[in-house]
């Protein structure tokens, strides 16, 4: 319907222009379009401001970074936004203002201005200087974050598979047991392919949630079982691919507990989420993990409540059953009570 | 040069006489189907590209329905898509197939074949003063390989397990394993075979363009007198010829991994409960092969738009393009750098940090030639006498979008920021503006500007103005707010955000974006209507040179026959940008230099 109307108007205007004289109607169109250029510029700049009003609060800036390292990313982002923002406004204003100002006018001739070396050198060097600044800041941080984590960090392993995340904690020995994809499902239920012949794995804890103590650097060791996934931690400004066959790592220092973040954002449902940021199949959008950042004490408590995965598969090896300490005492008392 | 041109004359019907055409027995098949006339081949590319653009655009409207209205069902979707939209709601698997096909179609079939194929074919011989391409036969084959690729890609839409659904970047192992995704079954094989055909087409075309530009310029047409369109198309062809074969090798290796049990990209995989025997491959290797094409590809898409916009801005400002040599130099710099930045798509794959740093440096270096181009375009407008033809409007729109999208590239090219922004909606906004919409604007500018040369008629202006203003406003309304979604961390390629505490609060915005996307799509249909209507019923061109342009294509008859010029090919005496020089509005390239003429 609208289509037909537009078509009719368009055809009519063509006939009108023939009647009026093509040159005259062309000039009129030129004026209208030149005017629209300025309108577009003004409304566009207003729109950019209005969009910011509407959506700035929904970005991650107001709540700030939940990791120490992310703060640097945020400040770099703001510097980059400032620099590019200035360039954006200047160039767009010039573009649309020139378009309006230098619209065709009767009897005017354009200025023959084929080149000017000084000007060209100016806008080669100025951008180059600004970019150098950005590169220097960027690379300084890049080498920091891709370098070794600070001493005293702890390690958590995260494994992606269609479409879920699994965590492993190294247990008391501080070392994760080996994994080997060929050990998958042996014993039955060994979904991560942990090599239980490696005694380092015996105290490892397998969890669906990631618990992290606040203010302590953590290094994530990242695996994938099937296709490429990506550990996306937007609140911490961190991201790293999970690639089958090629373990990757990343580290950061969480600075705000989940409980504090609930207060800070005023959202009682706030939760740190792990999103999969690499297309991984039909359930990609539902590959959600949860991180709970808590105080050191809460973290230790949680950790102590976990049973190593090994004992799930080999319950008879659980020292808590036959160990000399508590379990042994229990056995003694039971034995004593026995008739 | 003249000897080359003469040699070629002999190649084409051995005659300068355009009337010869009418005596020459041309059947419908040789004239419209297996034509060897570069102008007809260009039109074939353009029309096929338009058909693909409608399909690819429609896909985006359908998946935007899901994003904008995740809670609603649309029964007509089931009528249209059958079991892919049971109950009127898009199935996630098919959502991803649509996203994948949207990307593939628009990047390759529309903005590569549809854009380069059209304008390289149409403009190269006309603007350099040649009667046809170096090899009209290869040129014809280039189109028909493209057609074959199109048929195969189209057929993958109809297989039971659906078309490829792993994203247009088809990263293995997802794309290698049918067990990992329905779309990685037969649909993926068809995708790969289709792309192989596509690459053949692109190579045949590219070699032809390069050869033609280097060898068949008319007398006096030195390289420094080439219009910037030709320079841009030349560098585009170089990029394509050098990088597409790498994708071809990647595609072939992937076909091997899929069907012959090799392990180029596969290692340590358990999928659907099965332990695969593959060991020692690297999934990341594929990404290197892919992006070695994939990054030049974005310049293959962008450079022709840059070239055409340069030309159109100059013609309609009635001013020479500012800094011609700097424009050529920056195109050259972009071409070289385009080969050296591919790994910036891979900052978060666990890339060696030192290598990452090199890629950051080289990537941000591209901003320098880009800045030169922008400032030169702005200076071209300065103190001009601007005529807002539809082509000019789109060229100005191109510059605006190139600035907006180019600046966000500075964020993403800086690896530290990319860690945060990678694969979020920020990226979607960035590449849609700078590569997608901007290149489309370049293409529209080209179509509006050269339509009179192609068909001897004009497009309707009012429809063109509506097309431009709705499209530029719509494009900004769609993609500008997406930056904010990206800054909120919202990942791309999500079918539904409602289960995410962090990303679910953009419901209203998503609905708005979807709505605008539908309006913008409808306006593109208006353009398509205008296009086909005007081919037959448009206002007739009565002036050989309707825009008052200097380049050689406007010295041909209004409807040039095969061979382009009725008589001798004109000789070139000057560069193509003598506008408003010495009080003259324009001085065509074939005008001899006067004694009293000032030097530029």
- Asked if A55 lies within 8 A of B461 by C-beta distance, the reply is no
Residue A285: which of B325, B378, B496 has the nearest Cβ? B496
Overall average pLDDT of the B525-533 stretch: 96
- At residue B585, the 3 state secondary structure works out as strand
- CB contact under 8 Å between A6 and B400, yes or no, is no
Per residue in B499-513, is it b (16+ CB within 10 Å) or e — as a string?
Answer: ebebbebbeebbbeb
pLDDT at A7: 80
| Confidence at A321, pLDDT banded by 50, 70, 90 | low
Provide the mean pLDDT of chain B.
92
Of A35-44, A91-100, B21-30, B431-440, which gets the smallest average pLDDT? B21-30
Confidence of residue A330 (pLDDT cuts 50, 70, 90): very low
How far is the C-alpha of B449 from the C-alpha of B307, rounded, in Å? 13
Mean pLDDT calculated for residue range A196-218: 94
Between chains, do A285 and B493 touch, taking CB under 8 Å as contact?
A: yes
Interface touch B284/A246, C-beta < 8 Å: yes
Residue whose pair of structure tokens reads 């904010």 in the numeric block: B484
- Residue-wise pLDDT for B407-416, tens only, equals 999 999 999 9
Tell me the percentage of chain B whose pLDDT exceeds 90: 88
Average pLDDT on B204-226 reads: 95
Instruction: List the single residue in B365, B387, B417 with the smallest CB-CB distance to A104.
Output: B387
For tokens 């180019």, what's the residue? Answer: B406
Contacts (Cβ under 8 Å, ≥6 apart) of A305: none
**What residues in B contact A269, CB-CB < 8 Å?**
501
- Residue B380's pLDDT is what? 96
Measured between CA atoms, the residue of chain B closest to residue A65 is B420
C-alpha neighbours within 13 Å on the C-beta side of residue A250: 28
pLDDT band at A16 (very low <50, low <70, confident <90, very high): confident
Give the tokens for residue A148.
């070794």
Exposed/middle/buried for B598, CB within 10 Å: 0-12, 13-18, 19+?
exposed
pLDDT at residue B2 tops 90: no
According to DSSP, residue B320 is labeled P
Strands B274-275 and A272-276: unpaired
Q: Residue A251 and residue A248: Cα distance in Å, rounded? A: 11
3-state SS of B377-416? HHHHHCCCCECCCHHHHHHHHHHHHHHHHHHHHHHHHCHH
Q: What is the pLDDT of residue A17?
A: 75
Q: Does the pLDDT of residue A337 top 70, yes or no?
A: no
Mutate to test the interface with A, among B415, B465, B491, B522 (most CBs of A within 10 A): B491
The pLDDT of residue A24 is: 85
User: Mean pLDDT across the stretch A243-270?
Assistant: 95
Q: How far is CA B245 from CA B86, B199, B363, in A?
A: 40, 7, 23
Residue A333 predicted with pLDDT over 80: no
- Report H helices in B260-386: 283-317, 324-338, 353-365, 367-381
Q: Which domains does chain A have, with CATH numbers?
A: 30-103+120-147 (no CATH), 154-311 (2.60.40.420)
Selected residue of B84, B414, B525 to mutate for chain A interface (largest A Cβ count, 10 A) = B414
- The band of B33, judged by pLDDT with boundaries at 50, 70 and 90, is confident
Q: Do B372 and A123 touch (CB under 8 A)?
A: yes
Compare CB distances from B506 to A58, A94, A113 and report the shortest one's residue. Answer: A58
Contact present, B457 and B540 (Cβ < 8 Å): yes
Question: Among A210-214, A334-338, B200-204, B449-453, where is mean pLDDT lowest?
Answer: A334-338
Asked if residues B342 and B278 have their Cβ atoms less than 8 Å apart, the reply is: no
Per-residue burial over B64-77, b if 16 or more Cβ lie within 10 Å, else e, is bbbbbbbeeebeeb
Query: What separation in angstroms does the CA of A170 have from each of A211, A294, B144, B195?
Result: 13, 18, 60, 46
Q: What mean pLDDT do residues A30-56 have?
A: 96
Is there a contact between B349 and A248 if contact means CB atoms under 8 Å apart?
Answer: yes
Q: What is the pLDDT of residues A146-162, one digit of tens each?
A: 999 999 999 999 999 99
- Three-state DSSP string of chain A: CHHHHHHHHHHHHHHHHHHHCHHHHHHHHHHHHHHHHHHHHHHHHHHHHHHHHHHHHHCCCCCCCCEHHHHHHHHHHHHHHHHHHHHHHHHHHHHHHHHHHCECCCCCCCCCCCCCHHHHHHHHHHHHHHHHHHHHHHHHHHHHHHCCCCCCCEEEEEEEECCEEEEEECCCCCCCCCECHHHCCCCCCCCCCECCCCHHHHHCEEECCEEEECCCCEEEEEEECCCCEEEEEHHHCEEEEEECCECEEEEECECCCHHHHHHHHCCCCCCEEEEECCCCCCCHHHCEEEEEEECHHHHHHHHHHCCCHHHHHCHHHCHHHHCCCHHHHHHHHHHHHCC
| Average pLDDT taken over every residue of chain A | 90
The 10 Å Cβ neighbour count of residue B429 is 24
- Report residue B462 CA to chain centroid gap: 26
Q: Are B179 and B271 in contact (CB under 8 A)?
A: yes
Q: Quick count: other Cβ atoms within 10 Å of Cβ A31?
A: 13
**Residue B581, SS3?**
strand
**B9-38 core/surface letters (b: 16 or more CB in 10 A; e: else):** beebbeeeebebbeeeeeeeeeeeeebbbb
Residues in chain B: 600
CB contact under 8 A, A141 and B353: no
Residue B12 has pLDDT above 60, yes or no: no
Confidence of residue A10 (pLDDT cuts 50, 70, 90): confident
Average pLDDT for A20-31: 85
Note whether B393 contacts A33, CB cutoff 8 Å: yes
Confidence of residue B15 (pLDDT cuts 50, 70, 90): very low
* Domains observed in chain B: 2-586 (1.20.210.10)
Q: Which of B268, B347, B434 to mutate to test the interface with A (most CBs of A within 10 A)?
A: B268
- Is residue B86 pLDDT above 70, yes or no? yes
Chain B residues touching residue A188 (CB < 8 angstroms)? none
Nearest to A142 among B353, B469, B530 (CB): B353
Structure tokens at B532: 């086909």
Q: pLDDT class for B169, splitting at 50, 70, 90?
A: very high
Q: Is the pLDDT of residue A119 over 50?
A: yes
C-alpha to C-alpha distance for A18 and B265, rounded to whole angstroms: 64
């Amino acid at each position: 319907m609208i289509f037909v109307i537009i078509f009719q108007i368009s055809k009519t205007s063509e006939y009108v222009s023939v009647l009026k004289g093509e040159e005259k109607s062309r000039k009129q169109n030129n004026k209208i379009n030149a005017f629209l250029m300025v309108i577009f510029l003004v409304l566009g700049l207003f729109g950019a401001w209005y969009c910011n009003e509407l959506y700035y609060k929904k970005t991650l800036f107001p709540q700030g970074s939940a990791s120490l390292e992310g703060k640097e990313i945020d400040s770099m982002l703001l510097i980059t936004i400032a620099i590019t923002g200035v360039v954006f406004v200047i160039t767009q204003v010039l573009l649309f203002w020139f378009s309006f100002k230098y619209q065709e006018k009767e009897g005017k001739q354009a200025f023959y201005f084929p080149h000017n070396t000084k000007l060209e050198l100016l806008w080669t060097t100025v951008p180059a200087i600004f970019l150098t600044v950005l590169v220097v800041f960027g690379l300084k941080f890049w080498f920091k974050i891709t370098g070794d984590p600070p001493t005293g960090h702890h390690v958590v392993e995260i494994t992606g598979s269609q479409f879920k995340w699994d965590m492993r904690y190294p247990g008391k020995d501080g070392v994760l047991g080996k994994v080997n994809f060929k050990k998958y499902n042996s014993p039955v239920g060994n979904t991560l392919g942990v090599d239980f012949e490696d005694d380092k794995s015996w105290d490892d804890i397998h969890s669906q949630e990631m618990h992290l103590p606040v203010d302590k650097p953590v290094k994530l060791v990242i695996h994938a079982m099937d296709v490429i996934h990506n550990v996306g931690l937007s609140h911490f400004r961190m991201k790293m691919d999970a690639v089958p066959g090629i373990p990757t790592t990343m580290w950061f220092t969480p600075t705000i507990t989940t409980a504090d973040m609930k207060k800070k954002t005023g959202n009682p449902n706030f939760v740190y989420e792990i999103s999969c940021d690499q297309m991984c199949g039909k359930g990609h959008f539902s590959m959600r993990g949860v991180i709970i950042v808590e105080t050191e004490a809460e973290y230790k408590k949680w950790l102590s409540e976990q049973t190593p995965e090994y004992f799930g598969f080999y319950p008879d090896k659980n020292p808590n059953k036959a160990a000399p300490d508590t379990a042994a005492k229990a056995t003694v008392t039971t034995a004593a009570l026995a008739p | 040069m003249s000897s080359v041109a003469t040699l070629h004359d002999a190649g084409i019907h051995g005659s300068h006489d355009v009337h010869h055409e009418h005596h020459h027995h041309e059947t419908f098949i040789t004239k419209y189907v297996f034509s060897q006339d570069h102008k007809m081949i260009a039109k074939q590319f353009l029309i096929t590209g338009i058909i693909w653009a409608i399909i690819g655009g429609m896909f985006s409207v359908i998946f935007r329905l899901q994003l904008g209205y995740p809670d609603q069902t649309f029964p007509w979707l089931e009528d249209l898509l059958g079991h892919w939209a049971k109950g009127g709601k898009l199935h996630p698997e098919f959502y991803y197939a649509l996203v994948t096909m949207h990307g593939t179609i628009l990047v390759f079939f529309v903005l590569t074949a549809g854009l380069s194929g059209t304008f390289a074919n149409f403009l190269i011989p006309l603007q350099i003063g040649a009667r046809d391409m170096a090899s009209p036969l290869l040129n014809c084959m280039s189109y028909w390989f493209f057609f074959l690729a199109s048929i195969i890609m189209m057929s993958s839409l109809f297989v039971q397990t659906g078309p490829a659904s792993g994203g247009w970047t088809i990263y293995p192992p997802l794309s290698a394993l049918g067990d990992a995704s329905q779309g990685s079954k037969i649909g993926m094989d068809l995708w790969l075979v289709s792309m192989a055909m596509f690459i053949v087409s692109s190579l045949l075309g590219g070699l032809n363009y390069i050869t033609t530009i280097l060898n068949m310029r008319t007398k006096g047409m030195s390289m420094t007198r080439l219009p910037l369109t030709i320079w841009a198309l030349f560098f585009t062809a170089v990029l394509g010829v050098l990088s597409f074969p790498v994708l071809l090798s990647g595609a072939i290796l992937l076909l091997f991994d899929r069907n012959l049990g090799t392990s180029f990209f596969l290692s340590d995989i358990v999928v659907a409960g099965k332990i695969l025997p593959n060991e020692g491959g690297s999934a990341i290797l594929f990404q290197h092969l892919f992006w070695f094409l994939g990054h030049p590809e974005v310049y293959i898409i962008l450079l022709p738009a840059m070239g055409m916009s340069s030309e159109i801005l100059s013609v309609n400002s009635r001013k020479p393009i500012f800094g011609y040599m700097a424009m050529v130099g920056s195109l050259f710099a972009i071409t070289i750098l385009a080969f050296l930045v591919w790994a910036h798509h891979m900052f978060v794959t666990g890339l060696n940090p030192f290598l990452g740093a090199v890629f950051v440096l080289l990537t941000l270096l591209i901003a320098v030639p880009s800045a030169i181009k922008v400032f030169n375009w702005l200076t071209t407008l300065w103190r001009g006498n601007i005529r807002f033809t539809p082509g000019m409007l789109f060229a100005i729109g191109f510059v605006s979008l190139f600035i907006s999208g180019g600046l966000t590239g500075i964020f993403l090219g800086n690896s530290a920021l990319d860690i945060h922004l990678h694969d979020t909606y920020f990226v979607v906004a960035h590449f849609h503006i700078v590569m997608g919409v901007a290149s489309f604007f370049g293409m529209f500018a080209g179509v509006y500007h050269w339509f009179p040369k192609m068909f001897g008629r004009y497009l309707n202006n009012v429809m063109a103005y509506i097309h431009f203003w709705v499209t530029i406003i719509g494009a900004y309304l769609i993609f500008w707010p997406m930056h904010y979604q990206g800054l909120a961390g919202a990942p791309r390629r999500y079918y539904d955000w409602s289960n995410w505490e962090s990303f679910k609060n953009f419901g209203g915005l998503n609905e708005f974006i979807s709505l605008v996307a539908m309006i913008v799509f409808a306006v593109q249909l208006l353009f398509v209507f205008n296009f086909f209507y005007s081919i037959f019923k448009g206002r007739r061109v009565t002036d050989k040179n309707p825009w008052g342009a200097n380049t050689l294509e406007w010295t041909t008859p209004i409807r040039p026959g095969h061979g382009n010029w009725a008589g001798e090919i004109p000789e070139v005496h000057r560069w193509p940008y003598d506008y408003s020089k010495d009080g003259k509005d324009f001085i065509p390239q074939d005008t001899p230099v006067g004694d009293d003429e000032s030097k530029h």
